[in-house]
Amino acid sequence: MAKKSFSVRHQSGFTFIALFCFFALYLPIAVLVVFAFNAGNSLSDWQGLSLRWFAKAAENQLVIDTSIRSLQIAAVAAILSTAAATLAAIATTRTEPYRGLTFKYAFINLPLMVPEIVTAVALLIFFAQIKQWTGYSGLGYLIAAHTAFCVPFAYLPIRARLENMDETLERAAADLYATPFQAFRYVTLPLLWPGILAGLMLAFVISLDDVVITQFVKMAGQDTLPTYMLGQLRRSITPEMNAISTVFLLLSVAVVTIFFFVNRKQA
């Protein structure tokens, strides 16, 4: 008698629980998006359809400046952290096991286990000393802080991709007298590219919406969009915040969509 395969979808209550989870996750986002188009000043009383708050956000110079700064920091931090994560993933997977390898793996992923507030305070103290020695107070500190925090987020998908790759092709390239760099350039990198894109996208999104580390490390006049929105929410709450959040939600969806199509084309 053939044994039936187990499927969680056939368990009683699975459909209800799945729908409830999706409802609980996405209802607040749907409400935020809907009231971004509210003509009135209320966040709970619908007063008609309007693009008023999008126009107001587009005319707000502080919103424009902080948005550009957030995108710049996130882009640079994502590229740097993904490059570092790629090198770290190769170094910890394309090698024979040795004593200390597990420690290195845990050390790379340490920011995921340590509370973010602890990382923020440590970076604040560290950068305060550097500021005192050098007198430099530019955006370099925010970029360095975001890069350090995003490395493990980029590292995980890249390492997972490397561990699932068949090493036979890399060994075949070596047998055909390819140098290590040629084997990486023509064999490993094309196969690893989807993992690198996933790490880059994840690091970009994590950096873009970070508040805690940015709040501790930033100097006066270096607000990013999340810290600017946090400051505004402490003063007054208007649908302008909904409009800004909606635009960044669409940006995140666009990034994920582009990654999906690029990844499918690679496959």
Bridge partners (DSSP) of residue 49 are 38
In a domain, 32, yes or no: no
Read off the DSSP letter of residue 38: B
User: In this prediction, what percent of the chain has a pLDDT beyond 90?
Assistant: 13
CATH number of the domain bearing residue 173: 1.10.3720.10
- What is the rounded distance in angstroms from the CA atom of residue 82 to the CA atom of residue 97? 24
The number of domains in the chain is 1
Q: What is the pLDDT of residues 224-251, one digit of tens each?
A: 988 888 888 777 777 888 888 888 888 8
Domain-embedded: residue 2 = no
Residue 38 lies in a domain: no
Q: What is the mean pLDDT of residues 39-50?
A: 80
Asked if 163 contacts 93 with a C-beta cutoff of 8 angstroms, the reply is: yes
39 occurs within a structural domain: no
Q: Domain for residue 74, yes or no?
A: yes
Tell me how far apart the alpha carbons of residues 69 and 189 are, in angstroms, rounded to a whole number: 31
Domain containing 74 equals: 63-266
Confirm whether 54 is domain-assigned. no
pLDDT score of 117 more than 60:
yes
Q: What is the pLDDT of residue 264?
A: 66
- Dihedral over alpha carbons 201, 202, 205, 210 (to 10 degrees): -150
Residue 83: inside a domain: yes
Residue 45 lies in a domain: no
Report whether pLDDT(262) > 90. Answer: no
Residue 82 reports pLDDT greater than 90: yes
Written as one letter, the residue type at 1 is M
Average confidence (pLDDT) over 94-108: 80
What does the pLDDT look like over 151-206, one tens digit per residue?
Answer: 999 998 888 888 887 777 778 887 777 777 888 888 888 888 888 888 898 899 88
Question: Strands (DSSP E) along the chain, which ranges?
Answer: none
Residue 44 pLDDT > 80, yes or no?
A: no
CA distance 172 to 154: 28
